[in-house]
Amino acid sequence: MKNVVFYHAGCSVCVDAEQKMLDLLDKKAVNLEVVHFGEAKERIAEAEKAGVKSVPALCVDDAVLHLNFGASMDDVKQSLGVDA
């Protein structure tokens, strides 16, 4: 199983990418977790450490795939009132 984390911030670009992308994944081969930063601010540091620069992003094991561009991590932190 591959561990995949979809990080997003709830914006329309994120939600759209989530729907398009997650439908395509092989649920039998992928251990998927969806993280909404608005509901889990404490995961922001982990995402940045993994290399997430913008949302929505898909982390596949140790690689990051940025999908389209919803917002930068700086914008996410600012809108959620999280210190850099």
17 forms part of the interface with its own copies (CB under 8 A): yes
Q: Is residue 57 classed exposed, middle or buried when 0-12, 13-18 and 19+ CB atoms within 10 A define those classes?
A: buried
Residue 5 engages its own copies in binding (rule: CB under 8 A): no
Nearest approach, Cβ of residue 13 and its own copies (Å): 10
- Please report whether residue 1 would count as binding its own copies according to CB under 8 A: no
Is residue 3 a contact partner of residue 61, using CB atoms and an 8 Å limit? yes
Q: Does 60 bind its own copies (CB under 8 A)?
A: yes
Between 41 and 66, whose beta carbon lies closer to its own copies?
A: 66
Q: Which is nearer to its own copies, 69 or 80 (CB)?
A: 69
> Which of 57, 52, 75 is CA-nearest to residue 67?
57
Total residues contacting its own copies by CB under 8 A comes to 22
Rg of the chain, C-alpha, whole Å = 12
